[in-house]
Every structure is written in C-alpha cells, then in structure tokens.
Structure 1
Amino acid sequence: MALESGHDHPAAHATRELPSLAESASEGRIRLRVYEDGYLGDDSEVVEQLRFGGIDIAVVSLRALEGIAKSAALFGKGGTFPSAAAMERAFAGALGSALAEELESSRLLLVSWYDGGPECYLLPRDAKLPSLSGLRIGVERSKAVIDELTAEGAIPVPLSTLEFRRALEAGLVDGVRAPLASVLSSRLDADYRVVPLEASRVPMLVIGSRVSLMKMPGYDRDALSVSVRASKAFQADAMAFMEARFSRDNPSPWTLSPSAYP
C-alpha cells in the first residue's frame, strides 16, 4: 500500500491501523505492507503503477486522477467540499458512482475515501493579503487549481507535494497551496504564514488496482473495503486533533475565501 504523506499525517494514522484491521476481517488471508512518505513515488506515479498492478492499493489525492477521470477534474476546484459531511454525501452518492465507473475503465477500483482536511496557502509573512498577484505558488498538477490561481493573478508552479519543501528552500516558489494536514505534518509552516482557504476540504481516495484486487475472492475484497471504512475513524480523530491544535495556536488566522475565485 502506497501513501505519499508522511508518518504524522492523519491518513498515516489510518493506514497504520489498516493491516491489522484487514488481517482480522479476512481471518488472516489479507496481509498489507504500507509504504509512507512517497517511498513508492508521488501520487501521479503511484496511479500509473496501480493501473498495471505494480502497486495493489494506495491513498492518493483526488486531483491525481484528473487526467483519467472527468469527474475528478470537475470536483477538483477549491470550495467544492465545504465540510467533511458534504464530502461524505457526495462520494456516497452520484459523484462516487460516476467516479467509480470512470476509474474502473482505467483498471482502478474506488475502495473508499478519507477527508484530507482543509486546504491552505503557505505564504511569505509579508504577503499583502488577500491579493496573490505576482506570487509564484507551488500547486498540485491540477488544471482546476492552476486555473483558479491564474485568475487570481498568481503564477502557478505545478509540482508534486513531495517537491514542495525543496522548491520553497530553493526559492523556486514564494509559497504553496496544499492541504493544511500536509503542511503541518511536514513541518513546512515554520517560516511562513499559514492561510486557511475557507470552506474547502480535499478528498484523499483509497484506490485499488483492478489487476490485483480482482484476483482476490469477492469476500476478501469486501473484507478489505470494510477494513478501510473502519480505518476512517482513526484518520478523522487525528485530523480533528490537528485542526484543533492549529486553531488553538492560531486563534485569529488570516483566511481566504474560494468565493473570491471566478
């Protein structure tokens, strides 16, 4: 199992519990080994490996699927998911069904999803908010996000999240747009201002390789799905703790609103 995020990310709290959950649910038939911190590649690379069975299962950003699923591109824009509850309703309904159908045609299976938490900008402390004009902003390779930033007058620099730290340290970008959990768990916030993007949460999808998972008996695929859903509680608890700590340490943070975007 591949995960681009590091050890302290809320999703990693879930995936650390997943092997024991899956082994128990399958009566020992499913054995998972989890590789964190982008060990098996960034999200885009992992998606390609999933399609051909090089990786069996992974947690990836919804935006990593924009190139193969129109519904992923449609819902990749900031402000689409204002709350965890809205995300849950969307993926349990028409969005989840449409996305699952598109992914299956690309040899991928939608197993479940995690709430990746709120998005934020990591900006220089002297940035003149709310304007992003002229700032070079590192972003995921997402057309929806690139279009948003371009409309704001910013200069989007497409990167994988694994490249954010190096780009900041080398001065290749002025800031980044990323999930708050990724920023805090990677300790990227020390020398920058964290600016939450209001009412904009990011899904993280649990995707399986159709090549690999269809070799399993149906009852074991069901056991895996049940285990992933059970792991969501660990992710949600870790996310709530991280957000509460951020709110405590930043009682009056600057914020930007996705309503400002066309």
Structure 2
Amino acid sequence: MKTTLATLLASVALVGAAQACEITLRSSDTHPEGYPTVVAVQKMGELLEERSDGRICVEVFHSAQLGEEKDTIEQTQLGVIDLNRVSLGPFNNIIEETKVFSLPYIFAGTDHMHKVVDGEIGDRILNEFQNHQLVGLAYYDGGSRSFYNSQKPIHSIDDMSGMKFRVMQSDVFVDMVDALGGNATPLPYGEVYSSIQTGVIDGAENNWPSYESSGHYEVAGYYTLDQHLIVPEVLVMSQTSWNKLSAEDQALVKQAAKDSVPVMRQLWAEREAASEEKVRASGVEVVADIDKKPFMDAMVPVYEKHVTSEKLKTLVEDIRAAQ
C-alpha cells in the first residue's frame, strides 16, 4: 500500500511539474534511469527550463516505457512523441545517409568520430532527418563495439571461422560478420544471455557498458578489442512538435541539445571505465593487442555492397579525410 501511495504521489508531482510549464516535451529512451543518454536529456531539460524562464520542460520516459526504438521512431515521426534518443542503426533503412556511421571501421577511433559528428559532415547528415518528419538535434556516444564469446580468445580473423555471433537486425552487421568468416545470427538483445548460455550462439558484439550491464561477461568470458564499430547515437525531435515552437524556442531547444553533449560524453567515459574495470576484475580474458588491418581489409565487399550511391561514396571519402 505504501509503495502504491508513493507511486501515486510521484505521478501527481510529475503531472504538477508538467502543468507548471507552457510546453512539456515528452522524450523517449530505451536505456534505464541513470544511463548517460537519459541523464543528458534530463540535463537538456534543465537548461531549457532555465533559459525559457520555466516555459519549456522535458519529461524523459526511460527504460523503453514508450516502446522499443523502431516503434518510438514511428511515434516521433507522427508527433506522438516529441523527443527521442535512438541508436543510428534503426535509421539505416529510413535515412540512407546514416548508413555511413554504421560501417565497420569507418572511424579510426573515438576522437575521429567526435571530430566528424561535431563538424560539417555531422550537420550534413542531421539535415537529412528533415526529409523524414524529424529534426536532428545532436549526437551522443554509443561506445566502440567489439566481439565477445564463450569459446576461445580471438586473436585473428581465422579464430572467428564458423563461430555464431548475435548481431542487431541490420544488413550491414550481418554482412560484416559473414565477411570475417563467422555466422551472423540476428536476435533480440534480451535473448542473447540465454542463447550464449545454451550454446545457440557462441557470442555477440557490443561496448564495455553493455557487455557488463547485461551480464553477458558471465557467460562469454573472452572479449577481443577489435573495435569494429563506433556508431554514434542521435537525439531527434518530431517535425510536428518542432513546427509548433516559435523560432526563438526552436533555437533554445537546439542549443540546449548541443550543450547536453559534453555532459553525456563525460558520463559515458566514466561509465565505460567503470564497466571495463568490473569486467577485467571478474577474470574475463581481454585480447587488447590485435592487428586490426586484416579485419579492415575484409570489409571491402561490405563497403562495395552498401556504399553504392555517389552521395554515400562522397561521405565515406570525406569522413576518412577528416582524420
């Protein structure tokens, strides 16, 4: 009874806070409370409320309360959700230009990725969202993804031969694993732990925080830092919601989003370091000294298949030149 009453009072408080603002922007995130992306959007809300003299607020619905990313993207396009923090992967089949950030080894490292997304190339891709009922506001970090498995340490491409790896439901990711000699198995994220445990798959690929927080390190004790993907995440706004704002308020929203980025990056760096420390302390065998060149060379057919238009080819060339 006490818990129910506390929940009710919290709900009333939330509604009261929302009613105090002229405009309340509903924001979706699949990550849990306290995750760097969630905290960053909450910070954006604080900045907006302060700079608008309390007129504009942001209410963040974390932990996939409003649905998984595919569903929330559609709801944002329709104007049901105002703001949405989403991985770029789900946009690959909607906005062609976002594919380039999902290409294996497109970035030489995190600093290179930051340089690209913070500059003209990043803005060029954010501008493409306006053709899909969305406004691209800012990029957040998603870490570098590496392979982990339950069978053996991976030191080279040869070690991946025939191994079954879970990937997101993305053609690029499937082709990447296949090009490395492995067997790509698209699976929902929530099924990975049990699938590794029961031998349905040998492993998966992800960043330090996800590898740790999911508990995958408990059943897949070999982690190879090949860092094949450094895919940024994106904060978008519904075009419908955006159009309801004055030009002055639009500028406030855009600036608050940009100003939340350094906050997110700092939190991400801290989270990444803490997760790595916990994983290493657990006894996981980490392969850090790996020659990435053979892995990168194996991606030629992946690029040939997915980088087909002149626009994408130009983007790839510009990204590489930005190093």
TM-score scaled to structure 1, two decimals? 0.87
Q: What are the Cα deviations for residues 33-67 of structure 1, in whole angstroms up to 9, with x where unaligned?
A: 11222222222222122111121111111111101
1:21 to 17, 23, 47: 47
The aligned residue for residue 272 of structure 2 is 243
The aligned residue for residue 259 of structure 1 is 296
Q: 1:32 to 1:218 in 2, by over 3 A?
A: same
Alpha-carbon distance in 2 for matches of 1:84, 1:203: 10
Alpha-carbon distance in 2 for matches of 1:170, 1:25: 53
The aligned residue for residue 211 of structure 2 is 183
Q: CA deviation at 1:151?
A: 0.9
Q: 1:107 to 1:201 in 2, by over 3 A?
A: same
CA RMSD of aligned residues (A): 2.6
Structure 1 SS opposite 2:232: strand
Task: Give the 5 Å matches for 1:210-229.
Answer: 210-229=239-258
Q: 1:213 to 1:200 in 2, by over 3 A?
A: same
Bigger Rg, which one: 2
Alpha-carbon distance in 2 for matches of 1:163, 1:53: 31
Task: Give the 5 Å matches for 1:79-90.
Answer: 79-90=105-116
Unaligned runs of 5+ in 1: none
Q: CA deviation at 1:8?
A: 4.7
Alpha-carbon distance in 2 for matches of 1:43, 1:169: 26
Q: CA deviation at 1:74?
A: 2.5
Percent identity for Structure 1 against Structure 2: 22
Higher helix share: 2
Q: CA deviation at 1:24?
A: 1.3
The aligned residue for residue 68 of structure 1 is 94
- Preserved contact between residue 71 and residue 95 of structure 1 (Cα < 8 Å): no
Q: CA deviation at 1:246?
A: 4.5
Task: Give the 5 Å matches for 1:49-64.
Answer: 49-64=75-90
The aligned residue for residue 126 of structure 2 is 100
- Preserved contact between residue 120 and residue 197 of structure 1 (Cα < 8 Å): yes
The aligned residue for residue 205 of structure 1 is 234
The aligned residue for residue 194 of structure 1 is 223
Give the total of aligned pairs: 262
TM-score scaled to structure 2, two decimals? 0.72
Alpha-carbon distance in 2 for matches of 1:222, 1:168: 47
Alpha-carbon distance in 2 for matches of 1:194, 1:16: 33
Comparing 55-64 with 159-168, greater Cα deviation is found at 159-168
Alpha-carbon distance in 1 for matches of 2:114, 2:261: 11
Structure 1 SS opposite 2:260: helix
